Every structure is written in C-alpha cells, then in structure tokens.
Chains A and B, each alone.
Chain A
C-alpha cells in the first residue's frame, strides 16, 4: 500500500524567511496530493493540493511542486509570518478505487518574529 514520508519533523525560521517541507510517496498510482495545516487542538485544514497532471501550483505565499518521476512533492511557504506556525501534514491518496488519504508524520513549523 501507499507510504508517505515527510521531513523535516521540525523547522524553525525567522519571520520573512522561506520554509520548505518535503514528502515522498511510494505508490505510483497516487494522483492527488493535499497539504493540511493543523494548529494545536484544531482540525486539519486544507491549504493547497495538487493533482498528478500538473507539476506546480501556487496560491499567494504558498506553492506546491510535484515530481512524479521521483515520487516526491514539496510545500513552499514564502515570506513566513508568525501565524504560519503550526503542524503541516502532506498526504497522498491511496488510489485503490477509494480515496482514502495516507498522511505523512507532520512538520512542526515555528516562525519567530
């Protein structure tokens, strides 16, 4: 089945710097890759997603890139702000006919003012 690895597990940056989180997946049949932001005690919230028919997607300060050949995808946050501090999870769909998501282990991002 699908396996998703995520790194780093923690990332500390200064406000205004960029942050990059990387994930790899194992199942070449996966075709949907969402990223979720989860603040302490809150629900995971979808911040951006990408499908396998595109290589890059951008939404304001957030971008995601996908390399299908290498089976890895990355989240890029530019001009980080303290409110970006949270745990970020990548995921890939287990494309077995039912669209369950397999999540990475999470990256705790801390943005210091």
Chain B
C-alpha cells in the first residue's frame, strides 16, 4: 500500500508569512507524529495524535505552531508568522497503534524562511 505522503515537499516563505504543511498517513494508522529535523541533526518530536485527539504537544517550540487532525486521518501542521529559526525539514510519521509500534516516516517538507 501507499506510504506516508507529505505536501508540499518544499516551501519557501518570507519571514512573517503563515504556512500549512500536510501529512497523509498510512491508511488505518491510529497514531500520527510530527517531528522537526534541523540540518545535520536527528528528528525532534513536536506533537502526537491518537486518531483525532492531540495527546501530546510538548515539543511544539512556540504558540506560533499549531497542529490538527480533525477526522483522524490527514493532519496539518501550521506555523504562523514564520521566523528564520523555523527553517528545517518537518517530518510526519504514522504508526499502527499507540505502541510501541514501528513508525513510518513521510518524505518531509523542507521549509526555508527567508
């Protein structure tokens, strides 16, 4: 079956603009995670959904970051008033259950804030 997909793959935003990043998890996967990966670093946890419920948002760096998964499938990560330090690859991962199960990653969205 299809893997995790993300769009757009690349996004360039001017400082202060709002952006929305989309994640389509593997069909039937209950758990969905967002991670941020800075250049040369490992992924860092942002937030976690179990179905439509956002159960952990402890990794969101500021209140400019907001995530939702209203129907328990597709998820959107929104960043308001983007800053240069937001430049990174944003990875989405999905997992069958609430685990621990294998997490399957999408290709990521590379965000560059100019």
Contacts and interface: CB of A to CB of B under 8 A. Distances in A.
B85 interface: no
Nearest to B101: A99
A100 B102 contact: no
B72 interface: no
B103 A46 contact: yes
Interface residues of A, number: 26
Given A32-B100, A42-B107, A46-B103, A99 B40 contact: no
Range for the number of chain B residues in contact with chain A: 20 to 34
Interface stretch (B16-24, B43-51, B61-69, B75-83): B43-51
Given A32-B100, A43-B105, A103 B42 contact: yes
B106 A51 contact: no
B108 A43 contact: yes
B41 A105 contact: yes
Interface of A: 6, 31-32, 34, 36, 42-46, 49, 51, 89, 91, 93-95, 98-106
